[in-house]
């Protein structure tokens, strides 16, 4: 089967894989501040408007929208807010003053019960978005997409136990990553303000597919006839990827207590181009209408990479910025393995992706040979060094461990160990721990490897590590040519299988 990955694929993929930057974690106040309620009304006549009412008790004089995103617009998210008004419980008007960006000052003493009302005009597609409109808000013929950032004005910082109720046309339904308060009613409880801001919502005539494992729900939202027609295959792929990750790790995502979540929403809509973005634990994907198999593959790749971060990134996370190579690169390795596992890649296309995407980006990156991949701040500027370099470090270490232990152990054991140790805690791992765990796994001291390739700036000789297994690999002219050895002993063919995720 012939397979190629043109520039468009790489550009889109690189853009999106870099969007998974960790958001600052917030520690929530222990005290409950009850009574924060949003009601959102969308009508079919004016479906590009969302009328919002927010009732709350004043905590401070600042009303604000998310501080993340919409940086290209002077008024930021407030550019889409119209008819902003506030009244007391008794209906007495309160003065609101415009401040810079998406912020306002409300003239009301602390503790005043306020009903704030405003309308969001869904005009986001009139602007250009560096990360794509999929991280903002957009309308399709079959419904509307909002991020929490685009929709909610907030008061105070660390609120918990919020509620939202939607009023939508009768023939519509709504998908959110929140818990429904009562079956059949579009009311939801939202654990924290971060869950509100980081949410993604779709309202319309879409289809939903929920995949549940233990206490964890993956909510697939599919919009547009082309996408809905592939509902079964999307569902099968996603289920296969999810089961692979759960089996690998030994459980569902187990985040830190202050970032607890039991649902992730993945919203896939047909659109004019292919795009993807992750916010919090949620993923937004646009697939080009009438697009080829490639567009679909980009979508699946984005999904599989971002989804893996619910374990490698959310269930266990580094304490410092010096392990981005591990977070992103090892996620890339398991993304490839998961796509192979579900049959989306075969041996040939897996190896071609390794060269056409990852090796080429590594080879072209002028940070390689000059910067250390522990410099996590450089991950956007030096995708090749950190995302590809991290993947190559993963492959090298997997080959070292498998060879040294006659395939008894592998990188999978490290991933499982980190999940067991840090899942459900607010502790994280360090660079030193990764180094010593890898040394322990193979029984071979990895300090020279780390000194040269991780903390040091030397280029990883990927061919040497692939040749430890049953591959013939050679690096030349900016490419790595990899083929399977014709004759290899049982041990090395088992190690070869390990690269693909067959254990």
Using CA atoms, how far apart are residues 175 and 27, in angstroms rounded to an integer?
27
Using CA atoms, how far apart are residues 221 and 209, in angstroms rounded to an integer?
7
Biggest CA–CA distance in the chain, Å, is: 84
Q: Which is nearer to Zn ion, 288 or 328 (CB)?
A: 328
Instruction: Give me the sign of the Cα torsion angle 334, 340, 345, 349.
Output: positive
Q: Which is nearer to Zn ion, 77 or 387 (CB)?
A: 387
At its nearest, how many Å lie between Zn ion and the CB of residue 320? 17
At its nearest, how many Å lie between Zn ion and the CB of residue 457? 23
Using CA atoms, how far apart are residues 408 and 502, in angstroms rounded to an integer?
13
At its nearest, how many Å lie between Zn ion and the CB of residue 278? 8
Contact criterion met (CB below 8 Å) for 94 and 58: no
Q: Which is nearer to Zn ion, 137 or 393 (CB)?
A: 393
Contact criterion met (CB below 8 Å) for 43 and 55: no
At its nearest, how many Å lie between Zn ion and the CB of residue 147? 19
The percent helix, strand, coil of the chain (3-state, each to 5) is: 40, 25, 35
Using CA atoms, how far apart are residues 86 and 93, in angstroms rounded to an integer?
6
Nearest residue (beta carbon) to Zn ion: 20
Q: Which is nearer to Zn ion, 227 or 256 (CB)?
A: 256
Using CA atoms, how far apart are residues 47 and 448, in angstroms rounded to an integer?
61
Q: Which is nearer to Zn ion, 306 or 475 (CB)?
A: 306
At its nearest, how many Å lie between Zn ion and the CB of residue 501? 18
Using CA atoms, how far apart are residues 213 and 242, in angstroms rounded to an integer?
9
Q: Which is nearer to Zn ion, 192 or 332 (CB)?
A: 332
At its nearest, how many Å lie between Zn ion and the CB of residue 35? 37
Using CA atoms, how far apart are residues 417 and 173, in angstroms rounded to an integer?
41
At its nearest, how many Å lie between Zn ion and the CB of residue 440? 26
At its nearest, how many Å lie between Zn ion and the CB of residue 288? 22
Q: Give the DSSP H or E segment for 192.
A: strand 187-192
Q: Which is nearer to Zn ion, 14 or 294 (CB)?
A: 14
Q: How many CA atoms lie within 13 A of 443 on its CB side?
A: 8
Q: Which is nearer to Zn ion, 219 or 310 (CB)?
A: 310
At its nearest, how many Å lie between Zn ion and the CB of residue 312? 9
Q: Which is nearer to Zn ion, 64 or 327 (CB)?
A: 327
Write the CA distances from 83 to 107, 180, 349, integer angstroms: 17, 29, 54
Strand ranges (DSSP E) for 304-349?
none
Tokens of 101: 């960006």
Q: Which residues bind Zn ion (CB under 5 A)?
A: 20, 328
Residue in the structure block whose two tokens are 């970032």: 259
Q: How many CA atoms lie within 13 A of 124 on its CB side?
A: 31
Tokens of 246: 């759960």
Q: Which is nearer to Zn ion, 135 or 470 (CB)?
A: 135
At its nearest, how many Å lie between Zn ion and the CB of residue 309? 5
Contact criterion met (CB below 8 Å) for 56 and 155: yes
């Amino acid at each position: 089967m012939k397979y190629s990955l043109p520039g468009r694929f790489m550009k889109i993929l690189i853009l999106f894989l870099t969007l998974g930057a960790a958001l600052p974690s917030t520690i929530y106040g222990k005290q409950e501040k009850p009574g924060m309620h949003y009601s959102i009304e969308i009508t079919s006549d004016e479906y590009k408007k969302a009328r919002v009412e927010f009732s709350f008790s004043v905590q401070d004089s600042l009303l604000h929208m998310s501080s993340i995103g919409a940086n290209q617009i002077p008024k930021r998210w407030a550019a889409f807010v119209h008819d902003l008004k506030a009244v007391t419980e008794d209906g007495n008007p309160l003065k609101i003053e415009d401040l810079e960006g998406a912020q306002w000052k409300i003239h009301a003493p602390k503790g005043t019960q306020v009903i704030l009302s405003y309308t969001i005009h869904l005009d986001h597609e009139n602007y250009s978005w560096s990360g794509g409109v999929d991280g903002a808000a957009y309308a399709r013929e079959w419904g509307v997409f909002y991020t929490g950032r685009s929709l909610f004005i907030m008061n105070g910082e660390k609120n918990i136990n919020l509620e939202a109720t939607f009023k939508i046309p009768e023939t519509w339904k709504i998908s959110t990553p929140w818990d429904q308060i009562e079956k059949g009613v579009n009311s939801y409880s939202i654990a924290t303000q971060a869950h509100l801001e980081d949410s993604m919502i779709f309202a319309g005539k879409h289809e939903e597919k929920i995949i549940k494992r233990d206490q964890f729900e993956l909510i697939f939202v599919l919009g547009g006839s082309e996408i809905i027609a592939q509902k079964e295959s999307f569902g099968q792929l996603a289920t296969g990827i999810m089961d692979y990750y759960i089996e690998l790790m030994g459980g569902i995502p187990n985040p830190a207590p202050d970032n607890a979540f039991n649902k992730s929403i993945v919203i896939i809509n047909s659109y004019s181009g292919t795009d993807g973005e992750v916010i919090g634990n949620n993923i937004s994907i646009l697939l080009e209408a009438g697009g080829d198999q490639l567009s679909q593959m980009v979508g699946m790749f984005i999904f599989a990479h971002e989804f893996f971060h619910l374990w490698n990134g959310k269930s266990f996370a580094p304490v410092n910025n010096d392990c981005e190579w591990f977070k992103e690169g090892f996620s890339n390795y398991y993304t490839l393995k998961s796509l192979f596992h579900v049959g989306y890649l075969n041996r040939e296309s897996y190896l071609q992706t390794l060269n056409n995407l990852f090796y080429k980006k590594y080879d072209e990156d002028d940070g390689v040979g000059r910067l250390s991949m522990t410099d996590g701040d450089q991950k956007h500027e030096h995708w090749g060094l950190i995302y590809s370099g991290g993947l190559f470090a993963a492959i090298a270490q997997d080959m070292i461990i498998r060879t040294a232990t006659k395939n008894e152990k592998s990188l999978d054991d490290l991933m499982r160990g980190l999940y067991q140790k840090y899942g459900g805690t607010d502790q994280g791992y360090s660079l030193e721990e990764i180094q010593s765990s890898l040394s322990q796994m193979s029984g071979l001291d990895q300090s020279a490897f780390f000194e040269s390739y991780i903390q040091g700036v030397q280029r990883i000789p990927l061919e040497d590590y692939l040749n430890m297994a049953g591959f013939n690999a050679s690096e030349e002219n900016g490419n790595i040519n990899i083929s399977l050895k014709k004759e290899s002993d049982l041990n090395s063919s088992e190690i070869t299988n390990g690269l693909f995720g067959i254990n």
